[in-house]
Every structure is written in structure tokens, then in C-alpha cells.
Structure 1
Amino acid sequence: MASGGTRIQRLRFDTGATWLDLVATVGDAYGETPVERLRDTARLREWLDAEGLLPEHGPDDDDLVRARELRESLRGLALATLRGNPWPPGDVARVNEHLRADEPLELRDGQSGPRTRPPATTRAALARVARQAAQHLTGPEGGMLGACPARDCGMLFLDPTGRRVWCAAEICGVRHRVREHRRRRRAAG
């Protein structure tokens, strides 16, 4: 697979929030051919582990469906927030379903340092993701949402500094600079 395909397949953890990392589990989500990064339960397990949310018993096929549904509902809420539109009622209802599975956090002091107790189930892990999204979308972070301006990217991210333009400077930022350089050369020559 070409490096571009590998880039699209790899999981992203650079959005500034776990819930937005979940939204980013579709590559080229706003392009002509979106790529599903959560293609199976093993990939969901990998994502949960990287986010520190891996439960004792790994995800099953139903959990994969729930994760994808939550992702798309969070995308709908984030895009509506970013555009200043009302939230889609169906997305609100689906996120609220996940929030009902939330469980209290419990602090632990382990060998790797202080942390919270891992969620008991994948459903509880997804509820934590939904909780973070709800807190961000209703708090000051809602005003910090940004989207990559690359027409084939549009990845959502948190921009607390107000200066972030690209999903990642080394990805879309570089592609933009190369396109601009080529455009200027064509115009000059």
C-alpha cells in the first residue's frame, strides 16, 4: 500500500481530545472515499488501549457497532457546534444513550503512577468518551473546535491557542505548501 494509503489507515491521536480521536477513526471522512479505520474489533481494541480505555474484557462485534454509531453522532454534534447550528436530535439521543452507561471514575495509584481505574466494559469506555464530548461541547472547549481546511480532510480538533490551522502541519500543512508552490511555479512560467 502506498504511503498515502498507510497515512489514511493509521489511527490518529492528535486531535487534542479522546472523543475527537474517535471521530478521526475515519480517514478522509469528508472526501469522496472515506476509509474506515475501526475495521474490526482488534482495531477497536488497539484504539481503546492507546487511549487508556481498554477494559479487562476486550470489545466484541456489538461494541464495534456502538463505537461507530457514537463516532458518527459525535461528528454530527461537533459539526453543528462548529457551524453554530442546532444539534441534530438523533445524535443527541444516541450520545445520551451512551451517557446512561457511564460509571463513576475511581482513582488508582499504580506502578505507572496515578490514573483512573480502567472501565469495566467497552460500553463503559465508550460512555467515558461520550462524557468527555458532552463536557467539551457544553463548556469552553466547544468554542475551541477547529477543522482542517484541506478539502479532502476536514479533521476536527481542539484549538486552545486559536492558532492551529491544519490537522497536522506535517500532513495537510505540507501538502498545502507543495500545492501552493506548484501553483506559483505554473503561474510564473
Structure 2
Amino acid sequence: MTEPAPATAIPTTQRARLTVLSGPTAVGKGTISAEMRRRRPELWISVSATTRPRRPGEVEGVHYHFVTAEQFDEMVATGQMLEWAVVHGVHRYGTPREPVERELAGGRPVLLELDLQGARQVRVAMPEARFVFLEPPTWEELVQRLVGRGTEGPEERERRLVTARQELAAVSEFDDVVVNDDVARATAELMSLMGLREQVA
């Protein structure tokens, strides 16, 4: 009698782990995310939807999906948002759910760059995710970065600084902390936390 051939395991794509990067306004989340994308093009970084007006140089679908308040309401009402929040008491930001789920299921590493409110919602929806807090080297450095970029008026800047103090107080809610004292170093640390290696040229 011939012995049956051993069963061969069918290879499956392992679901990737979501990483959420958060931190106070002007700490450099966007800069770090852009550097992550440059170093590892296979990393998928979600593009948020927002009701905020587009700033000079921003590109639709690259920096944000710019939508009307009515469009945003519809996305929330139909369950299309993984998270959403009103930021600085004015504009709404949110992460479309379907693209994130699709990329994770396909085994692709995903990075979400979120404010504190959004990160908290994702922790409820996806507690298995990794939550990383990007911290400035000092409060004075954060203020200097916010003033230096010149994209907000005095009232908006003061509102953002009040929010930043509240956000900094939430650092203990996160799994890991990365200090953004140097973009290259901070990016390398985040890559290490995500288990990503530098590509060799």
C-alpha cells in the first residue's frame, strides 16, 4: 500500500500590523512619514480626508483628500471612517477604513499619521496596532517650529499651542516614544520599531 503524500501547507499572506504615529502639532509627523515613504516605498501610508482648506503646495490625494463638510458627514454616517475628529476646534480629519483594511489583509505594512483623538479611536477599533508617540526635544523647540513654518495666524497658532500641551500630556497612552530631535535618527528608530530594515543601494 502506498503511503499518502504528506500534505503541503498552502502559503498564505500574513496580515500586517498597523502602526499609528501621533504627537503634538508641528512636531514633524508629516516630515517623518515622508521620510519613511522615501526610504521604504512599499510602506503604505494612509491619506486622510479633511474639511480643512488646501494650503499652497498641497496636492489632492497626496497630502489629503479635501472634502466638503457634507461629504465628510456622509462618510461618517455610512461607516467609511476608521477614525475621525475635530482638530483644534475647527476642521475635521478622518481615515477612510477600507483602504487600511485592504492593505493590512494583503500583508503590507501600514502607517497612520494621526492626531491624539484619532489615535484613541483606532486603539478602540484596532487594539492590536502599535502606537508610537512622536515627541519634540523640548517645548521651546516645538513653539519655534510652529512659529517658523508660518502657516497659521496668531490666533490659530495660540489655539494649536494649547492643544499641543494637552497632547503632550497623553504620552503615557502610547506603546513607544520617539523623540524628533533629528529627522534621520527619528525615522531610523521608527523603522526599527516597525521591523523595517534600511534598503541597501
Shorter-chain TM-score range = under 0.3
Give the TM-score of the pair, scaled to structure 1. 0.27
Give the TM-score of the pair, scaled to structure 2. 0.26
Greater C-alpha Rg: 2
Q: Which of the pair has the greater relative contact order for Cα pairs under 8 Å at 6+ separation?
A: 2
Higher strand share: 2
